[in-house]
Amino acid sequence: MWDWPDLGDGIQSVLAPAGPHAGWVAHLSWLIFIGGGLILLLVVIMTTLAIFAPDRWRKGIGQRRTVIIGGIAFPLVTLTAMLVYGLGGSAALVSSPAAALRIEVVGEQWWWRVHYLDETGAIRLVTANEIRIPAGLPIQFDLKSADVIHSFWVPSLAGKLDMIPGRVNSYRFAADEAGVYRGQCAEYCGAQHALMAFYVVAMEQDEFEQWYADQVQPAAEPDLPQFEAGRELFLTNGCGACHTVRGTPADGVIGPDLTHVGSRVSLAAGTLPNNVGTLAGWIASAQHLKPDNKMPSFDNLEGTELRAIAGYLENLK
């Protein structure tokens, strides 16, 4: 029931880069792994020679000049090269081209509030735990925290940047191609730090625009009676105190915005795949599945009621 859809391998891997930022670092990584491997090999060979080589060789090694060549001159050359190369990378990565889109992400214990901003910085669209971006365009991420320190990280696309209370940290990166990438909180942030993930879905530009246009719309009216009943139950059970579903009286801001929750890949910040079953399971036992999170377990609801609410939510595409 809780199987994940097949999203492909390496959706969260430094070594499977899918954007220029991560690509540059992956390139650097291979370079330093090979270089480091060679240096390790050199030390092993030197040590072996120092121990087992014929006396004549060992006499040559057992001198101060070995220390000067191996311990000073050689590191000086390699380290200087690495320093300059690494600095060049830093310089290139921080001065990437102007952003096509600004997205503000707020880390909260233990989920992600996502705001799409316009040019003036005003919030145009609120969503949660999933960031859709147009592929091929640099996106600016403005990172904030609502409580403790979190760290925003999508390994396949870029390195991480912390979300620190009282500060806004910004950086830009892009996805080369359409695809689904997984991100996860990288700074320990309390009880459920392990279950604070999200998805970045890169889309072709026209698809993205269509999606964006859909998302800014309020939730669609239920088209089936059981969804109608689900909405009723959603509202009467007080879900709206914490959640917003635009177009309904539900306007809570404590938890994720659910206006289009059915369109997302995952539930509860990457804790569960998103379908009717997991939705119902989450509503009934949120405290069991992700203890200490702010959502209470609605274990007082009947099975039919759960299915109705879950059906309603799942239908909010």
Partner 1 sequence: MREQTFFKPLLASVSGLVIWAAHFGIIYAVNALNCERRWMDQTVLGMGLVPFAITMATIAAVLGLAIIAALAFLDKAPNLPDAANERTSVFFRKLTITVTALALVAVIYQTIPVYVVPACA
Partner 2 sequence: MSEKTSEGGIADTRKRAPTTEIEYPNSLPRPEGELEQLQKVWEPPRGLRLFSAVNNNYVGVYYVGASFLFFVLAGILALVIRTQLAMPENAFIGHELYNQLFTMHGTMMMFLFAVPAVEAMGVYLLPNMLGARDLPFPRLSAYAFWAYFAGGLAFFCSIFFGLAPNGGWFMYPPLTSTEYSPGINADFWLLGIGFIEISAIAGAIEIVVGIMKTRSPGMSLDKLPVYAWAMLVFAGMIIFGFPAIILGTLLLELERAFDWPFFIAERGGDPVLWQHLFWFFGHPEVYIIFLPAAGMVSMMVPTMAQTPLVAYRLVVLAILATGFLSFGLWVHHMYTTGIPSLSLSFFSAASMAVAIPSGIQVFAWIATLAAGKIQFKTPALFILGFLFIFTLGGLTGVMVALVPFDWQVHDTYFVVAHFHYVLIGGMVFPLFAAVYYWIPLASERPLSERIGKWVFWLLFIGVNVTFFTMHITGLAGMPRRVYTYPQNLSWGALNMVSTVGSYMIAAGVLLFLIDLARNFRPFTGNNAGDVWKAGTLEWLPSGNYQTRSIPHVASREPLWDQPTLAEDVVAGRYYLPGAPTGGRETIITSPIDARPQYLLKLPGPSWAPFLGALFTAAFFMGLTIKLYIASLACGVLAIAMILWWMWDTNPDTADHPVRVGDKLELPINAAGPASHSWWGTVTLILVGATLFTCLVFSYLYLWLVNGEIWLPSQQELPTLLWYALPAGLYLASSAAMAFVFRHAGKLPGSNAWPLRLALVLAIPLMIAGLGASIYGQWQTGLSPTQSSYGAVVYMLNVIQGIYVFALVLMGSFVLMRSLTGRLSASRRASVDNTTLFWHYMTAQGLIGLSLAHIFPRLVGMG
Among partner 1, partner 2, none, what binds residue 236 when CB lies within 5 to 8 Å by partner kind? none
134/103 Cα distance (integer angstroms)? 12
Residue 1 or 69 having the CB closest to partner 2:
69
| CA 177 – CA 207 distance, rounded (Å) | 13
The partner residues of 173 in beta bridges, in order of sequence, read 139
| Class of residue 18 by CB neighbours under 10 A (exposed 0-12, middle 13-18, buried 19+) | buried
Cβ proximity to partner 1: between 71 and 218 the closer is 71
Characterise 164 by phi-psi region: left (phi > 0), alpha (psi -120 to 50), beta (else): beta
Q: In the complex with partner 1, which residue's Cβ is closer, 60 or 75?
A: 75
Determine phi and psi for 181, rounding to 5 degrees.
Answer: -125, 145
Would you say 99 and 140 are in contact if contact means Cβ atoms under 8 Å apart?
yes
> Is residue 94 involved in binding partner 1 (CB under 8 A)?
yes
133-152 residues near partner 2, rule: CB under 8 A: 147-149, 151
Nearer to partner 1, 91 or 213 (CB): 91
**Footprint on residues 96-115 left by partner 2 (CB under 8 A):** 109
30 touches partner 2 by CB under 8 A: no
Please identify which residue in 292, 296, 304, 317 interacts with partner 2, judged by CB under 8 A. Answer: 292
Q: Does 44 bind partner 2 (CB under 8 A)?
A: yes
Question: Which pairs count as long-range contacts for 302-309, CB under 8 Å and 24+ apart, including other chains?
Answer: 305/233, 306/280, 307/276, 307/280, 308/226, 308/227, 308/229, 308/230, 308/233, 309/230, 309/233, 309/234, 309/237, 309/239, 309/279, 309/280, 309/283
Which residue number, 81 or 241, has a Cβ lying nearer to partner 2?
Answer: 81
Residue 282 CB, shortest distance to partner 2, in Å, is 15
Residues 6+ apart with CB under 8 A from 199: 129, 130, 131, 180, 181, 182, 183, 264, 265, 266, 270
DSSP string, 237-288: TTGGGT-B-TTSS-B--SS---TTGGG-SEETTTTEE-SHHHHHHHHHHHHH
* 56 touches partner 2 (CB under 8 A): no
The interface with partner 1 within residues 50-89 (CB under 8 A) comprises 76, 80, 83-84, 87-88
Q: Which is nearer to partner 2, 204 or 292 (CB)?
A: 292
Token pair for residue 155?
């390994």
- Based on CB atoms, which residue is closest to partner 1, 48 or 80? 80
Q: Assess 13 for contact with partner 2 (CB under 8 A).
A: yes
Q: Which of residues 62-91 bind partner 2 (CB under 8 A)?
A: 62-64, 66-72, 74-76, 79-80, 82-83, 86-87, 89-91
Measured between its terminal Cα atoms, the distance across the chain in Å is 20
What is the spatial distance between Cα 16 and Cα 206, in angstroms, rounded to a whole number?
A: 26
Residue 305 interacts with which of partner 1, partner 2, none, CB < 5 to 8 Å by class:
none
* Residues in region 257-286 near partner 2 by CB under 8 A: 270
Q: Is 192 in the site for partner 2 (CB under 8 A)?
A: yes
5 near partner 1, judged by CB under 8 A: no
Chain residues 198-257 in contact with partner 2, contact rule CB under 8 A? none
Q: Minimal distance in Å, beta carbon 210 to partner 2?
A: 28
- Residue of 51, 95, 213, 300 interacting with partner 1 (CB under 8 A): 95
Footprint on this chain of partner 1 (rule: CB under 8 A) = 76, 80, 83-84, 87-88, 90-91, 94-95
